[in-house]
Structure 1
Amino acid sequence: MSENPPTPPGRPEDPYGQEPERPTPPQQPYQPPQQPYQPPQEPYQQQAGGQQPPGQQPFYANAASSAAGVARDDTKGLLGSLFDFSFNNYVTPKIVKIVYVIVTILIAIWWVIAFIASFVTLFSDQWYIGLLGILFSWIVALVYLAIWRIGLEVFQAVVNISEKVNHYARRDGIA
């Protein structure tokens, strides 16, 4: 027979023979709040049909107009921006698409030439080089295209940040 008697249900006991600690009751009983909860007031009251009273705008209207003001001001064209010696207009947003199209065309031409050269090499003594060129030249072309894309996106992001900072500086009267 076992030396330890079974534990009665509903009473957990410590295996080391100590009494479990009982939680202490709170010192003060719960008191309901003095005033009932009232939701915050709207900055404007909507009229029937979901329209606002004349002359009032929603609270987010200023933020939207401020964000719309950050949009790029394309007053000068590509040549005007190229010969802007005061550097008030950035040429990068206008030229990045053209550069990417040119790079894509050049990489595609390189890939076609590499593929043809690999196919011709297949029928020579170094056929394995031709086979590797046929199998993997498209991967090399995609890697170069991705590198160019990432680089152009970095330039574009830097210009976008600069435009926004300049806009906010002009808005706040700093510049």
Structure 2
Amino acid sequence: MSESTPRPPGEPEDPYNPPPSPGPPPQEPYPQQPYQREPSQQPAQPYQQPIGERPVGEPPAGEPSFYAGAASSAADVARNDTKGFFGALFDYSFLNYVTPKVVKIVYVIVTVLIALGWLVALVAAFSNSVWAGIGFLLFGWIIALVYLAIARITLEFYLAVVSISEKVNHYARRDGML
């Protein structure tokens, strides 16, 4: 049990501000800045221009820009993407991927095929009976949209895998592993 001064009934106890302890507070010598090194142990600071003398957003002199690596890697990717569709299609070393070049065309073809399939099914439903045609007209588009969404998700998955593979290969070439 902890010993504390009794409080009158009805007065809540504040756990964050405990009551002052009886007696004088302890006087311990605390340093002004507890983790400061001795002046002889201070590392030498490189010269930096005062903030007023350099333009806002530019790094200090001798320090590379934060975006320099991103710009060079984007330029490398653009340089490596010089083969066209047929060049990538007949690249038997598989160093260039054809998926990013084909995915838009495949999605357009899949969209057209799903729309044509929906129209054929609509005509077939109306030729069966009027009520079947009306039912398919009201709810058949949902099935077509589900198929379109599945096709889109599948194409995005393939594109993401290829994108990850391109980045891994780029880093492997940069680090001398390929």
- After TM superposition, the score normalised by the length of structure 2 is 0.67
Are residues 1:65 and 2:68 paired?
no
* Contact 2:122–2:136, Cα closer than 8 Å, also in 1: yes
Q: 1:57 to 1:85 in 2, by over 3 A?
A: same
Give 1:78's aligned residue. 85
Alignment of structure 1 residues 17-166 onto 2, 5 Å:
28=28, 32-33=32-33, 45=49, 47-50=53-56, 52=58, 56=62, 58-69=64-75, 71-72=77-78, 73-123=80-130, 127=131, 129-166=132-169
Rate the CA distance shift 1:61–1:133 in 2: closer, same or farther, 3 A.
Answer: closer
Instruction: Give 3-state SS (helix, strand or coil) of 2:118's partner.
Output: helix
Residue identity matched to 2:85 = L
Larger RCO: 1 or 2 (CA < 8 Å, sep 6+): 1
Tell me by how many angstroms 1:111 deviates.
Answer: 1.5
2:137 maps to a residue whose letter is: I
Is the CA contact 1:44–1:52 (under 8 Å) kept in the aligned structure 2?
no
Structure 1 residues 9, 130: closer, same or farther in 2, change over 3 A? closer
Distance in 2 between residues matched to 1:99 and 1:11, nearest whole Å: 71
> SS of 2:116's equivalent?
helix
Gaps of 5+ in 1: 1-6, 13-20, 36-40
Distance 1:11 1:84, change over 3 A: closer
Q: Report deviation, 1:87.
A: 0.6
Q: Which has the higher helix share?
A: 2
Please list every run of 5 or more consecutive structure 2 residues that lacks an aligned counterpart in the other structure. 1-7, 37-44
Runs of 4 or more off by more than 3 Å in structure 1? 7-12, 21-32, 41-59, 69-72, 119-123
1:168 pairs with 2:171: yes
Aligned residues: 152
TM score, norm. by length of structure 1: 0.68
Given that 1:122 and 1:130 are in contact with CA atoms closer than 8 Å, whether structure 2 keeps it comes out as yes
Deviation readout 1:45-69 (Å, 9 max, x if unpaired): 4535537599756540333235424
Percent sequence identity over aligned pairs: 53
